[in-house]
Amino acid sequence: MTTRLNIVPFVSVDHMMKLVLAIGIERFLTDLAAYIEEDFRRWELFDKTPRVASHSIDGVIELMPTSDGRLYGFKYVNGHPKNTRDGRQTVTAFGVLADVGNGYPMLLSEMTILTALRTAATSAVAAKYLAPKGADCMAIIGNGAQSEFQAVAFKALLGINRLRLYDIDPAATRKCAKNLEGLGFDITPCASAHAAVEGAHIITTVTADKQYATILTDNMVGSGVHINAVGGDCPGKTELHRDILLRSQIFVEYTPQTRIEGEIQQLDPDHPVVELWAVMTGKTPVRGDSRTVTLFDSVGFATEDFSALRYVRDQLADTGLYEELDLLADPDEPRDLFGMLLRAAKHH
């Protein structure tokens, strides 16, 4: 790694893909999950603020900062549902990790791909604590951009090897099944959400519907099932019928944010929920009995992005998969910024 003070390592989209492939998707997700879990376990250390959102008619741009007192990270992320019309991504993201001690950025990274990975890794970490023992079959309802990442993360962390796929668009299911070919799954494409959940120990909902939707109704959810609800993640966007929530033990990342963005926006603001960190540290027990339905109401939190940036940063020295960005002014004499400009003129 460089010691030149003006340089910040930059991980481009191309380098991120190379990094994931060099490490291997399964191992990347496993190792990333360990970083995410480590940071959840030291939850109380983190400076937690709600996202800073700038809303417009077409979408939202958000900044998600957090810090553990030693490192600082933030993610820039947009959400623009209409983007796919002109070939753009609905969500793009990038992030920065910085040194709290001197305020200097240490890493700039693409985070569109990295967010997909950390979302899947977080779901799998949560399921490690919440899913029924011996679970090996997962239904995935919604077979879009996040679906394969979920599948691979659950295989890597929980040994899930049977998938039941459903999407309102059969082409999405075909795409998902094709992408997962040869990765060790027994895949069943299903004709309905009802069919998909049959025999599944874990139900992952990850649809892109932008409104209140009812992907799962109460009668579809058997006892002892773990629901991994990933798709409902902003105000006005939910996937589960309220009755399911009322009979589930509900787990969230950061309660104040999930009350606004998660499935629980359908419930009273004081409905009991458990934060993941409390489960991971053993503070709160899970599953009174084997018939309990557990629900991870995932919306994505800043610490997960922080963990992901921290993980990527730690891979740079060994892999060399980054560029050097001349991002920081570094005059020989800190008080002489103007002189630095003048001297640059002489080199012209």
- Catalytic annotation, residues: 233
The answer to whether residue 242 forms part of the interface with a second copy (CB under 8 A) is no
Q: Which 47-66 positions form the footprint of a second copy (CB under 8 A)? A: 47, 49, 52, 54, 56, 58-61, 63, 65
Rounded to whole angstroms, how far apart are CA atoms 147 and 228?
12
The answer to whether residue 102 forms part of the interface with a second copy (CB under 8 A) is yes
Per the DSSP assignment, residues forming a β-bridge with 154 are none
The answer to whether residue 39 forms part of the interface with a second copy (CB under 8 A) is no
Rounded to whole angstroms, how far apart are CA atoms 267 and 291?
22
The answer to whether residue 112 forms part of the interface with a second copy (CB under 8 A) is yes
The answer to whether residue 4 forms part of the interface with a second copy (CB under 8 A) is no
Can you point out the beta strands (E) in the chain?
7-11, 47-48, 52-55, 60-67, 71-79, 93-99, 105-110, 137-141, 162-166, 186-189, 202-205, 212-216, 226-229, 238-240, 248-252, 274-275, 293-297, 323-326
| Least Å from the CB of residue 130 to a second copy | 24
| Least Å from the CB of residue 266 to a second copy | 27
| Least Å from the CB of residue 50 to a second copy | 10
Q: Which 117-156 positions form the footprint of a second copy (CB under 8 A)? A: 144-149
CA atoms 146, 209, 214, 254: torsion sign:
positive
> Given the complex with a second copy, which of 34 and 340 has the nearer CB atom?
340
Specify whether the CB–CB gap between 259 and 235 falls below 8 A: no
The answer to whether residue 78 forms part of the interface with a second copy (CB under 8 A) is yes
> Given the complex with a second copy, which of 92 and 284 has the nearer CB atom?
92
The answer to whether residue 306 forms part of the interface with a second copy (CB under 8 A) is no
The answer to whether residue 25 forms part of the interface with a second copy (CB under 8 A) is yes
Torsion on CA atoms 266, 271, 277, 278, rounded to nearest 10? -160
Q: Is 141 helix (H, G, I), strand (E, B) or coil?
A: strand
Task: Kindly give the pairing relationship between strand 137-141 and strand 202-205.
Answer: parallel
Binding-site size, a second copy (CB under 8 A):
80
Per the DSSP assignment, residues forming a β-bridge with 295 are 227, 250
The answer to whether residue 90 forms part of the interface with a second copy (CB under 8 A) is yes
The answer to whether residue 45 forms part of the interface with a second copy (CB under 8 A) is no
Please report where in the chains the tokens 């795409």 appear, as a residue: 175
> Given the complex with a second copy, which of 84 and 219 has the nearer CB atom?
84
The answer to whether residue 1 forms part of the interface with a second copy (CB under 8 A) is no
| Least Å from the CB of residue 347 to a second copy | 9
